[in-house]
Amino acid sequence: KKRKSSGKRTSGGGKKAPAKKEPRKKKGDESFEDLVKKAADRFTPTNNPQIFPDQEFVSPVGIDATDGIVVGIIRGQVRKVGKLLQSQSLREDSERELGELPSLVKLNTACSGTDAPSIALGLVRSTLDDFARTNHKDEEGGKNVHRFDYEHNMSCEIEPFKQGYIGRNFPGVLLFPDITKLADGETVTDVYGREQTIPDSNLFVAGTSCKDFSMLKNTKRKDIEDKGQSGQTFIAAVEYLEQELPKFAIFENVQNAPWNK
């Protein structure tokens, strides 16, 4: 019997040599460019579920559904004491008694988060502007007749995404990364690596860490001296007060922390 030939014949009558296969690269031998090309080849529009809007991008900052609630609360409180605030802000600093905040509030914050104190002071000012426009229509359009004003001069926040929020929403405000470094020397390194001096203030607001003082997720409450995050940030805030001596300070934290110390 004649053997059947499995090879294909070329036009010259000879058998066609089988094509040589390139050796497969091991996973670790693939270059970065090869991996990128493979990923690009695998991409199809159907495996990317994102649907991009055809309108111009709108920042969500300031349009949150809860913003109107917060604005309403602050405006309601200011309207209740509006005449008192207005009369107090019109007094000269020399006439003020001990314990009265100056008419220009110079705000520094630490453990700043979203810097709610600065937002609140801005809402107080705008509400007083509205109040003054209603009652002083013939005086410069009523704007700032009350003379209440504030400056937001410094923030201090360790979380990078919160630093980004502050940098975007409060441009020009000095931003430091670590409250425990504020009282280390004459200058402090800001989040951009620049040496800065702490600006003057008459109001310091700090919401130091509460994770070690709270019993929400803990079985044992740490003390201030236990070198936990809560104790370290609280002591750092006290050191700031001793160094900078602002006229007023507001601390926010959990009620059951060891404050009797």
Query: What is the Rg, in whole angstroms, of the alpha carbon atoms belonging to the chain?
Result: 32
Cβ distance 257 to 230 under 8 Å?
A: yes
Q: Is 111 noted as a catalytic residue in this protein?
A: no
Residue tagged active-site, from 119, 198, 210, 224: 210
Helix, strand and coil percent figures for the chain, each rounded to 5: 35, 10, 50
**Alpha-carbon distance 100 to 224, whole Å?**
31
Cβ distance 105 to 128 under 8 Å?
A: no
Q: Which amino acid is at 224?
A: I
Cβ distance 210 to 224 under 8 Å?
A: no
**Alpha-carbon distance 74 to 65, whole Å?**
16
> What are the CA-CA distances from residue 51 to residues 55, 59, 170 (Å)?
12, 17, 31
Q: Which residues are catalytic?
A: 210
